[in-house]
Amino acid sequence: MAIIALNGSPRKGWNTHLLLEKALEGARSKGAETELINLYDLNFKGCLSCFECKRKNGPSVGVCAVLDDLRPALQKIAVCDALILGSPIYIGEVTASMRALVERLTFQYIPYSKERTTFFEGNIPSAFIYTMNVPESALEELGYTEKFEFYGKLLSRVLNAPSESLISTETWQTEDYGKYHMSMFDEAERRKRRSEVFPQDLEKAFALGAALVQC
Which residues would be at the binding site for ligand FMN (CB under 6 A)?
9, 11, 14-17, 88-92, 131-134, 171, 173
CB of 98 to ligand FMN, least distance (A): 11
Please name the helix (run of DSSP H) or strand (run of DSSP E) that holds residue 179, with its range, or none.
none
Residue type, 146: E
**Nearest CB to ligand FMN, comparing residues 10 and 62:** 10
Please name the helix (run of DSSP H) or strand (run of DSSP E) that holds residue 36, with its range, or none.
strand 33-38
**Nearest CB to ligand FMN, comparing residues 133 and 160:** 133
**Nearest CB to ligand FMN, comparing residues 68 and 146:** 146
CB of 95 to ligand FMN, least distance (A): 8
List, in sequence order, the alpha helices (H) in the chain.
15-29, 70-78, 96-107, 144-159, 187-196, 198-214
Pair 90, 97: CB distance under 8 Å: no
CB of 89 to ligand FMN, least distance (A): 4
CA neighbours within 13 Å on the CB side: how many for 129? 30
**Nearest CB to ligand FMN, comparing residues 88 and 209:** 88
CB of 56 to ligand FMN, least distance (A): 41
